[in-house]
Amino acid sequence: MSEQTATAQKTIKFEIRRQDTANSTPYWEEFELEYRPNMNVISALMEIQRNPVNAAGKKTSPVTWEMSCLEEVCGACSMVINGRPRQSCTALIDQLTQPIKLEPMATFPVVRDLVVDRNVMFDSLKKVKAWVPIDGTYSLGEGPRMPERKRQWAYELSKCMTCGVCLEACPNVNDKTDFVGPAILSQVRLFNTHPTGAMNKDERLRTLMTDGGIAECGNSQNCVVACPKGIPLTTSIAALNRATSIQMFKDFFGSDHMVD
């Protein structure tokens, strides 16, 4: 048999952890698809959705998952693929070991199948005020300029797409702790660096000094390995450890004139 014919007859095997409702018992279901060149996990899931028949030949419900940009920008298609949390749009079939196992991220509550509820992450971003506060609806003119060197590394932090992968990889983010997770810590550093966002710097740092804050980090460094955007999360955590220590002394001595 020629190599071309063998490739044409190759099948892709999937094992997908499914859950019909938020409260139902999860179960595994197997699927087999005909191989096509340049497939990614999303294109395979779209094929299953188009023809929802499992490996036993039984008609089943379409697998549910989330997606949007399909170019690793939105963060919506996060899931656990062969035991590793990552974006399914950039997970190429040719680079994955079969059977390909797809699971929802365990850090977040499951809504259905591979769809999870990431509200806890967005609530944490609200908790630390991860935005630049600007009052008024009128034009305020140009904002203060950032030094180019600072702007360059701040841009790296701004690449966060709130995909939740770093929270899934972190062993300290679980149902036994209130730890906000590495993505939120990095966003605090980003907005504390911004010339206007720095107005709320002390408030953000004090929030990180409470339960669920930076003291919950175990420094496993899984987050920086898992981050699909290569954000220097551990560098941010180290910088915030120093910043919160300084903030603690400022608050203790009641001084606003200590060196930041």
How far lies 83's CA from each of 38, 102, 149, in Å?
A: 22, 8, 38
Cα 214 off chain centre by: 18
Distance in angstroms (rounded) separating the CA atoms of residues 212 and 225: 22
pTM of the model: 0.88
Over the stretch 153-201, which tens digit does the pLDDT of each residue have?
Answer: 999 999 999 999 999 999 999 989 999 999 999 999 999 999 989 999 9
Q: Which structural domains are found in the chain, ordered by start?
A: 3-116 (3.10.20.30), 119-253 (1.10.1060.10)
Over the stretch 73-120, which tens digit does the pLDDT of each residue have?
Answer: 999 999 999 999 999 999 999 999 999 999 999 999 999 999 999 999
| pLDDT for 142 | 80
The answer to whether the CB of 196 falls within 8 A of the CB of 143 is yes
Q: Please say if the pLDDT value at position 18 is more than 70.
A: yes
pLDDT band at 206 (very low <50, low <70, confident <90, very high): very high
Over the stretch 21-80, which tens digit does the pLDDT of each residue have?
Answer: 999 999 999 999 999 999 999 999 999 999 999 999 999 999 999 999 999 999 999 999
pLDDT band at 7 (very low <50, low <70, confident <90, very high): very low
Percent of residues, the chain, with pLDDT higher than 70: 94
3-state secondary structure of 100: strand
Strand ranges (DSSP E) for 61-200?
78-81, 84-87, 100-103, 110-112, 115-116
